[in-house]
């Protein structure tokens, strides 16, 4: 019992914000948007730092769009499918080159995709 209490105490210490002197992971924020018309994103290439990445997707179109992040054929994250609004998603990525695309049928093939470079 005494051992359990000790373990819980140690875990709590690690969970407290500001206790660790190690470098705090920074959250990169990536902005991706879709214009009022056209099956495309405004950005063709976006960049972020490795780790937890916040993707803010603003769709200015009346057409529904989303953002999916993949590495090869491996799906890593997907936003909500929205029109005329903004949504947020998180992905945790290592350094590398990823694809982002819209999974609404026909959109990716029409050119609605881009590259996410993580460094």
Q: Which residues, at least 6 apart from 43, have a Cβ–Cβ distance to it below 8 Å? A: 31, 32, 33, 114
- Please tell me whether residue 40 binds Cu ion under the rule CB under 5 A: no
- Please tell me whether residue 102 binds Cu ion under the rule CB under 5 A: yes
Q: Phi, psi (5° rounding) for residue 113?
A: -155, 165
Alpha carbons 68 and 103: distance in angstroms, whole number: 7
- Please tell me whether residue 113 binds Cu ion under the rule CB under 5 A: no
Contact code string over 64-83 relative to Cu ion, x by CB under 5 A: -x------------------
- Please tell me whether residue 107 binds Cu ion under the rule CB under 5 A: yes
* Contacts with Cu ion, residue ranges (CB under 5 A): 65, 102, 104, 107, 112
């Amino acid at each position: 019992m005494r051992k359990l209490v000790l373990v819980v105490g140690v875990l709590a210490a690690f969970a407290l914000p500001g206790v660790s002197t190690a470098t705090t992971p920074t959250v990169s924020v990536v902005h991706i948007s879709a214009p009022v018309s056209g099956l495309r994103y405004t950005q063709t290439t976006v960049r972020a730092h490795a780790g937890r990445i916040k993707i803010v997707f603003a769709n200015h179109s009346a057409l529904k769009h989303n953002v999916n992040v993949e590495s090869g054929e491996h799906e890593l994250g997907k936003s909500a499918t929205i029109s005329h609004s903004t949504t947020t998603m998180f992905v945790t990525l290592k350094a590398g080159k990823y694809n982002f695309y819209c999974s609404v049928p026909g959109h990716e093939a029409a050119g609605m995709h881009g590259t996410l470079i993580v460094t």
